[in-house]
Each structure stands twice: as structure tokens, then as C-alpha cells.
Amino acid sequence: MALSCSSLCSQLSLIRLCGFRTNRITHGLYSAYVPCQSRLPLCRHYTSSKVRRGIGRYVATRLQWANEKYEGFLKRRFPRFFLLYHTFVEGFKLLFRDAKDVKRIKAKMFFDGVKFQDLPYREMETLRQFRRDVIKAIPLVMISIPPFANYLVFVLMYFFPRQLLIPHFWTPRQQVEFRGVYHSLRAQHHWPVLKGLEDTSHHVSNGQLQEHLRNLCTKVQTGATPRVSEILAVRRLFSGPPLGMRRMTVDHMRHISSLLFLTPRLPGFLIGRRLNNHALELLQLDRGLTTLGLHQLDDAELRRACYVRGLNSDVLGIHQCREWLSQWLQVSSSLKESEVSLLLHSIVFLSANYPTSLSRR
């Protein structure tokens, strides 16, 4: 290695001298200055820029080899730590890939004047999910910047993966497990929402609408899933008082926020504004999905779409997920923007008893 390096340095020195000086050549009775580059063709091939590129490729190759050896050592001797290490590296790759996609989508929106609701479904979903992920990922990224701080990140990944990390840094097993935990937390608010609707029904002046709302709540409480027509029969109550987006009580809005994994620990006016924004965003996603068509989604996209809308899709088959999402889109496609409150309540109406209610039909 030392011999080859010294030889390389001597050749580089000769090349540099030949590139900037000329040799005096004497042949008998005449003498002339002849450029060295014309006498030494090799000087044209071994320029300093090409040498630097060659050295750069060599260094990159050696670093890649050393990294593969290091990963192989971890995999053999410390398999559990290797799993964390691999998840950490792949998570950052996925995060940066999503960031590039978001940058491209944002550029298209800015230069072409495309609005969010006019984007294709997959691009809308990418923007929505990345915005939620990056807020949670910022502390992790900041912690990992200082030298050797990635070891602290590994400790956090090991002890508090669900609380501190985004799904990019979860193992496949953790993703299924943690989605089940989050859904169980969300399901705890199903019955408070139904109780709030029952209490509100007493203040409905229209007797027919009051009866429809009570029957709807009773059906869900007894373990059945209502039909789409039964949900749409009460849509008028969700466009104004008492169940419109800006007309619900603060306690009721807090329970609805938990269905969307939004923090309920905010002042009432902020909760109402956030709920309205997320409900409109969900409605626009549904319209984009209707335009795309359910048959265009792969299995992972189908399960993710159901989970976002309130269903624990990991315990269901693909056929059940497709059937449930079809019912959801039937409700969503019939609603106006002023009726998005009903869309949020449909999280409870359609998913509280699904699929256990299938055996009762």
C-alpha cells in the first residue's frame, strides 16, 4: 500500500510539472521549445480532476466494504442491536425519500398553481402523512445531529419506540402492535361520543330527526353497524345546530379529536378549528380516492386508508377492508363541506362494531 501511494505521488508530481512547463530539445544545429503534453500523451489522460474522482471512488468503495463488515459483525454477535441499527438506517432512508417526494409535490403546487384538493390521491396522502410524521420526528433528528448521539437514539428506540418514534423507525412487528394499541385508545372514545349524541338528541326540535338519531345510536350500542341510508338520514343535524362543526360542545369535540389522534388539550376554539381543517382534508382525500378507484390500491394502501378512517384493519381480511371502505366512501361522497361533522361521527357509526356485527346480520 505504501509503495503504490509513493509511486502515485511521484507520477502526479511529474504530470503537474509537464502540464505547466516546456522542455528544451536540442537536435544538432537547431533547438525548439516543444510542449511536454505533445511529447507525453499520458499527461492528457491522468488529469488532476480524474485522479480525484478515482480516489473518491476508491474511498467510497472502502467505506462501503467497512460498513458491510460492521453490519455483518453486529448481525452475528448482537442480533437485537443489529435490528435496531437496521431499522434506524432504513427509517432515515424512508424519511428522506418522503421528503424528496414532498418537495416535488410542493414545487408542482407552487409553479403550476395546483391546489391540494386537485392533487391525485396518493400525493394528497403523502403530504398529509408527512406533515404529521415530521412534527413528531423533529426531536429525534435534532438529537441525532451531535457526534455519537445516535447511540442515545438507539436507547430511545429500544425503551420508548411507540411514544417517541414515527412509523418509519418501527419494525414490522412493532407497526402491527402499535397500531393495535393506538386503535384501542381511539376505541375508548366511541361510547362517550354515542352518549353525547344521545344527550344532544333531547334538544332536537324536529321529531323525525330526533327519532332517527336515537335509533342510530341505539343500533350502534346494541352491537350492529347501521346502513349508509340510516347515517345519511340525519345529515341535516350535522350542518348546523346542534352537531355542526362549530356548534358542538367542547367536551364532545375533545372526544372527536381523540378519534383522529389529535390532542384534546387545547382551548375550545382551537380544537374546533383543527377538527374542521382535518375533516375537510379527509373529505378531499375521499374525493381523490373515489376518482382513483379502490381497485387501484394495493393491500398496504387499502389497510392504511381504513386505519386512517377509524378501522383496525390489521385484524381483518383484504375483502373486509375493501367492503368497509366502500361503505365509507358512499357516505363521504354524499356529503357537502358544511356536513363534514357527520363524516367524523361516521368513524364511530361504521367502525365501532365492525366486523363483529357481520355475524348479527
94-132 exposure pattern, b = at least 16 Cβ within 10 A, e = fewer: ebeebeeebeebeeebeeeeeebeebebbbbbbbbbbee
Q: Residue holding cell 380544537?
A: 271
Instruction: Judge contact between 123 and 205, C-beta under 8 A.
Output: no
Instruction: Judge contact between 271 and 254, C-beta under 8 A.
Output: yes
> What does the block give as the cell for 178?
402499535
The answer on pLDDT for 43 being more than 70 is no
Q: Residue holding cell 420526528?
A: 137
pLDDT of residue 147: 75
More confident: 240 or 126: 126
Summarize pLDDT for 139-177 with one digit per residue, the tens. 777 777 777 676 777 777 778 888 888 888 888 888 999
Residues 6+ apart with CB under 8 A from 109: 115, 116, 119
The radius of gyration computed from the CA coordinates of the chain, to the nearest angstrom, equals 32
User: How far is it, in rounded angstroms, from Cα 310 to Cα 83?
Assistant: 30
Summarize pLDDT for 279-318 with one digit per residue, the tens. 999 999 999 999 999 999 999 999 999 999 999 999 999 9
User: How far is it, in rounded angstroms, from Cα 41 to Cα 140?
Assistant: 55
More confident: 8 or 328: 328
Summarize pLDDT for 175-214 with one digit per residue, the tens. 999 999 999 999 999 999 999 999 999 999 999 999 999 9
The answer on pLDDT for 38 being more than 70 is no
202 by Cβ neighbours in 10 Å (0-12 / 13-18 / 19+) ranks as exposed
pTM for this prediction: 0.76
Q: Residue holding cell 340510516?
A: 230
Residues 6+ apart with CB under 8 A from 337: 280, 283
Q: First and final CA of the chain: distance in angstroms?
A: 78
